[in-house]
Structure 1
Amino acid sequence: MTESSSIKWRQLANELRAKIQDGTYPPGSTLPQLKTYSRELGIHHETVRAAYKELEREGLVRTIQRKGSVVLEPPVRRRITRGVTVTRDPARGYVFPAASRPDEPWQVHGQPFRKVVPAPAEVSDQFGLDPGSEVLRRRRVTSPAGEPPFQLVDTWLSPDAVQSAPRIAEPSPGPGGYLDRLEEAGHGPIEWEETFRIRMPDREEAKLLEIAVSIPVLETTIVGTSALTGKPIEVTIRVIPGDRVELAGKLQRGDSAQWPVDPVEPPETAA
């Protein structure tokens, strides 16, 4: 692409960005069809394509097959104060540190489903299975009420877990969910360990979260280990668009960082 065409697509991206921000193109609307718009502007269609791609990289639009470039809702950034305490709600069961506030209603997008599918390597490794082994996955997409999809949550349950607590494979495992059923089957108290990483989403994840594939995501993985066997029995992977979340935590002083600082005695000098 020449320097002149580079300047043109950047100018066009700036103009379209301003129109999205002032409501000329509101959320849910579609930018003009690429070739029609290029003829209207008297510029090459690749210049228009480059401008659209830039807006997609910024998370302002998403390309949807047979629809075009659809303007997205502005992301709502939510703060997650990362604690290490798992609490319990009598109505919901275990509650892990998350971006929700007490009593805040959440909604499910689409239909949650469960299916036995080939597990990713990180899951099969945890369960001690061969690569590509089929494992029960429970999947749901959720968000605070009225907001676009906030997180894609996959819970993988080991074959041993399903065998010992068959109700976890049902659509509704009952009060307290699958974790209560596992602990009732003798695996409690379950211990959990959580890890984080930043990565790019695959196309299916981007579609379910309604984001562009160019938007990084935060992935958190919680591995639950059975007290009965000492082995992982459940792995929950949560994927959150990177522009919708920020992590926060309170720093504490260690013993060596207390204030006021103890005075340092000057070294003795030889007489």
Structure 2
Amino acid sequence: MARYKEVAADLRERIKRGEYEVGGTLPKYEDLTAAYSVGRGVVSSALAVLEREGLIRPIKRRGIVVLNWNVARRRIARGQLVTRNPHTVGYVFPAASRRDEKWTPHGRPHREYAPVPDRVAELMGVEPGIAALRRRRVMSPAGEPPFQLVDTWLSAAAVRDAPRIAEASTGPGGYLDRLEEAGHGPISWTEYIRTRMPSREEAQLLEISQEMPVLETVVLGSSAKTGGVIEVTVRVIPGDRVELVSELRRDESASWPTAPVTPAP
């Protein structure tokens, strides 16, 4: 076994035994090189392995931070049905939550005008970098580390027609109800799902390594009045936290027992 793999294996075992606590830091580079009698390159390669596995994350001025690696992976049954919650009086999309499960914010949800990233600009049909209203929140099930970063981007037309969506409280039903009341309803939605690597900012907010792939779901809301996209919601979830589950159904052509095959004449 290569020496860096041996070092990585030993550090991995120590992390999982709790010798290095979640939220704490590993020894400094010079201490690790001395402890394992190896050069800095070997330590660097070993730490890169652990970072890709989501066990550690180097943070400037803090050191090599041990991440919360023992988080149960959640199975999400993906559907296509949008419902309405009678308690919050708002739309409910296929998501990671379970019925009656309490979710809590990490930090304060906030809103600001920010440059639209390339991906969102492409989907909204606007120039990249143009300022748009972004509503941002980082959420997780109660007691768990950050599970998802949610950014909702709202077009200039949306804010013009429904100015309340730019306020801290958008009222019962949230910003979607305000948009539909302003004449854009019924809104129709399209969802895109892909995996990618996180940006530095996303990794910081989700408390993961930039080496950890993320699952990105993007929901486009289109106006019934104009036909154009008026809102884009981007959810980013660490790749080690979730797996998607879909129930497969038989088409009539795949019914069983199978129909007897008629020989060709």
- 1:82 & 1:40 partners in 2: Cα distance? 48
Pair 1:7-2:9 in alignment: no
Question: Structure 1's 197 and 214: CA in aligned 2 closer, same or farther, altered over 3 A?
Answer: same
Pair 1:147-2:171 in alignment: no
Instruction: For 1:43-62, list aligned pairs within 5 A.
Output: 43-62=38-57
- 1:63 & 1:23 partners in 2: Cα distance? 19
**Partner of 1:77 in structure 2?**
73
C-alpha RMSD of the superposition: 1.3
Question: Structure 1's 37 and 124: CA in aligned 2 closer, same or farther, altered over 3 A?
Answer: closer
The C-alpha deviation readout for 1:52-72, integer Å capped at 9, x for no partner, is 121111111111111111111
Pair 1:197-2:194 in alignment: yes
Q: Tell me which amino acid in the other structure corresponds to 1:237.
A: V
The C-alpha deviation readout for 1:225-249, integer Å capped at 9, x for no partner, is 1111111100001011111010001
Q: What secondary structure sits across from 1:208 in the alignment?
A: helix
8 Å CA contact 2:7–2:36 kept in 1: the answer is no
The C-alpha deviation readout for 1:191-234, integer Å capped at 9, x for no partner, is 00101111101100001011111111111000001111111100
Q: Tell me which amino acid in the other structure corresponds to 1:14.
A: A
**Partner of 1:102 in structure 2?**
99
Pair 1:30-2:43 in alignment: no
Structure 1 segments unaligned to the other structure (5+ residues): 1-5
The C-alpha deviation readout for 1:157-189, integer Å capped at 9, x for no partner, is 000000000000001111111011111111111
**Partner of 2:84 in structure 1?**
88
Please report the TM-score for the alignment, with normalisation by the length of structure 2: 0.95
8 Å CA contact 1:150–1:241 kept in 2: the answer is yes
The C-alpha deviation readout for 1:89-113, integer Å capped at 9, x for no partner, is 1232011111111110001001211
8 Å CA contact 1:91–1:175 kept in 2: the answer is no
**Partner of 1:158 in structure 2?**
155
**Partner of 1:137 in structure 2?**
134
Pair 1:39-2:34 in alignment: yes
Q: CA deviation at 1:125?
A: 3.1
Q: Tell me which amino acid in the other structure corresponds to 1:111.
A: R
- 1:266 & 1:225 partners in 2: Cα distance? 51
Paired residues, number: 263
**Partner of 1:16 in structure 2?**
11
- 1:214 & 1:27 partners in 2: Cα distance? 18
**More displaced, 208-217 or 41-50?**
41-50
Q: Tell me which amino acid in the other structure corresponds to 1:35.
A: E
8 Å CA contact 2:164–2:170 kept in 1: the answer is yes
From the CA coordinates, give the structure whose radius of gyration is larger. 1
Q: Tell me which amino acid in the other structure corresponds to 2:136.
A: R
**Partner of 1:3 in structure 2?**
none
- 1:75 & 1:176 partners in 2: Cα distance? 32
- 2:37 & 2:227 partners in 1: Cα distance? 67
Question: Structure 1's 41 and 122: CA in aligned 2 closer, same or farther, altered over 3 A?
Answer: closer
8 Å CA contact 1:27–1:72 kept in 2: the answer is yes
**More displaced, 112-121 or 159-168?**
112-121
The C-alpha deviation readout for 1:4-35, integer Å capped at 9, x for no partner, is xx822111111111111111122122111111
- 1:44 & 1:263 partners in 2: Cα distance? 70
- 2:191 & 2:224 partners in 1: Cα distance? 17
**How much identity, in percent, do the aligned residues show?**
58
Please report the TM-score for the alignment, with normalisation by the length of structure 1: 0.93
- 2:87 & 2:172 partners in 1: Cα distance? 7
Question: Structure 1's 184 and 66: CA in aligned 2 closer, same or farther, altered over 3 A?
Answer: same
From 120, 125, 140, the equivalent of 1:123 is 120
